[in-house]
Amino acid sequence: MKFAILVNEGAYQHQASDSAFQFVKAALEKGHEIFRVFFYHDGVYNASRLSVPPQDDRNINKRWSELAQQHQVDLVVCIAAAQRRGILDAAEAKRQGKDADNLAEGFRISGLGQLIEASIEADRLMVFGD
Amino acid sequence: MGVTKKLLYLNRKAPHGSIYAQEALEVVLIGSAFEQDISLAFVDDGVYQLKKQQDTKATGMKNFSPTYRALDDYDVNKLYVEQESLTARGLKVEDLIVPVQVLSSAELAALMATQDVVFSF
Amino acid sequence: MNTLHTVNKSPFERNSLSSCLRLAAAESSILLFEDGIYAALQGTDFSETIQTALAKHSVYVLLPDLQARGMSLEQVIVGVQAVDYAGFVDLTSTHYPIQAWL
């Protein structure tokens, strides 16, 4: 089966990001395909490159980056939600005249159309939120 | 895309106390370009999103409620409100900013069961 | 296929479970996970609600979330089935669509 995943909350604040990750991991282990993981609302915070959680706990943001690298999972961050919350890639930062960018490896910033497309192309849409 | 799916946007949260209502609407607007079979359901505090006369000036926040009136221009016109959610909140259909179809819980449950994709915010 | 409803909030905190039960068509299934697992336990003000729901729905609880919260299988209402994340994935294959009650 092909899954589209919607993550509505940031790392640590709610369990949504953890649950989504565990679901995706289990689905991949079973040989399913993850069509796309789309980050919306505070979910965009999962894509910050600047997160430095304590060493004795899971590194949520890094975990997503590693997943993207190991399994070629498409991690998409909504541009409007990201702009609001200050998650920018290098191109966006330059375009907006900001002095820094912070998008983590493995994520890409795109439009809400990517969420809709994923929901149409996939067999199931899973929503993780608060 | 070829495929037409029934997409349901499930709205259960009040406006302004959180961004879910406003950002959900943004998904609906973008989604309207994909020629799918779109429905919006307003349940629980979600019915408050449609309340007339929202005036956010003193809070300094954006009043995005007029956008519900623009949905029709995007061919999004299947708006369903749960009767029980309205009644529990002392609201009537006249209190709402757009024409909606009021459904009983049973009717809404039946409608939800026919959907292909449910977006929750 | 029947819907899989997912409920992730505690019934003591939110009305998500009660709204889900009010709007879940007969034969649909419910998965309690994250804080939603508290509804799966015996001896609470919501136990009877779940027991009644079992007449119309299959009800599942995510074991990792039970364990994380210090609850055990013995405390789960009889009839509610525990699944792990792999089981959660399997449930999505046999249900359509998946509806999240946040």
Q: How do residues B52-85 score in pLDDT, each as one tens digit?
A: 999 999 999 999 999 999 999 999 999 999 999 9
User: A5, A126 in Cβ contact below 8 A?
Assistant: yes
User: A122, A4 in Cβ contact below 8 A?
Assistant: yes
* Domains along the sequence of chain A with CATH: 2-128 (3.40.1260.10)
pLDDT above 90: residue B3: no
- Please give the average per-residue pLDDT across B92-111, as a whole number: 98
Angle, nearest 10°, between helix axes C16-23 and B105-112?
80
Name every chain B residue with its beta carbon within 8 A of the beta carbon of C3: 112-113
- Please give the average per-residue pLDDT across A11-39, as a whole number: 98
Closest residue in A to B18 (Cα–Cα): A41
Question: Chain C within 8 Å of A33 (Cβ-Cβ)?
Answer: no
AA letter at B34? F
For an interface test with A, the pick among B22, B25, B27 (most A C-beta atoms closer than 10 Å) comes out as: B27
Q: CB within 8 A of B108, min separation 6: which ones?
A: B41, B43, B80, B82, C23
Question: Chain B within 8 Å of A125 (Cβ-Cβ)?
Answer: yes
Q: How many percent of chain B have pLDDT more than 70?
A: 99
**Cα separations (Å) of C48 from B81, B113, C40, C62?**
29, 25, 10, 20
CATH number given to B6-120: 3.40.1260.10
- pLDDT reported for residue A111: 98
Tell me the backbone φ, ψ of residue B108, rounded to 5 degrees.
-65, -40
What is the full per-residue pLDDT of chain C (102 aa) written as tens digits?
A: 999 999 999 999 999 999 999 999 999 999 999 999 999 999 999 999 999 999 999 999 999 999 999 999 999 999 999 999 999 999 999 999 999 999
CATH number belonging to the domain at C4-101, selected among 3.40.50.10470, 3.40.1260.10, 3.65.10.10, 2.60.40.10: 3.40.1260.10
User: A76, A35 in Cβ contact below 8 A?
Assistant: no
Can you give the pTM of this predicted structure? 0.98
Please report the ipTM that was assigned to this predicted complex.
Answer: 0.98
Phi-psi category of residue B53: left, alpha or beta, with phi > 0 → left and psi -120 to 50 → alpha: left
- pLDDT reported for residue B20: 98
AA letter at C59? V
Q: HSE of A98 in the Cβ direction (CA atoms, 13 Å)?
A: 14
- pLDDT reported for residue B1: 53
A49: exposed, middle or buried (C-beta count within 10 Å: 0-12, 13-18, 19+)? middle
Q: CB within 8 A of A63, min separation 6: which ones?
A: A21
Q: HSE of B38 in the Cβ direction (CA atoms, 13 Å)?
A: 23
- Please give the average per-residue pLDDT across A15-24, as a whole number: 98
Q: Which residues of A are catalytic, by number? A: 78
Closest residue in B to A127 (Cα–Cα): B120
3-state SS, residue B77: coil
Q: What digits encode the pLDDT tens for the residues B4-20?
A: 999 999 999 999 999 99
- pLDDT reported for residue B2: 74
Across the interface, whether the CB atoms of B117 and C97 are under 8 A apart is answered yes
Q: Give the dihedral of Cα atoms B95, B83, B64, B13; nearest 10 deg.
A: 130
3-state SS, residue B83: helix
Q: How many percent of chain A have pLDDT more than 70?
A: 100
Distance from CA of C73 to the nearest CA of A (A): 20
- pLDDT reported for residue C31: 99
Distance CA B99, CA A113 (A): 27
Domain map (residue ranges) of chain B:
6-120
CA nearest to C53, candidates C99, C20, C83: C20
Of A6, A120, A129, Cβ closest to residue B34: A120
pLDDT above 90: residue B95: yes
Of C33, C93, C100, Cβ closest to residue A129: C100
Distance from CA of B2 to the nearest CA of A (A): 10
Distance from CA of A56 to the nearest CA of B (A): 31
Q: Which helix (H) or strand (E) holds A29?
A: helix A16-29
AA letter at C80? V
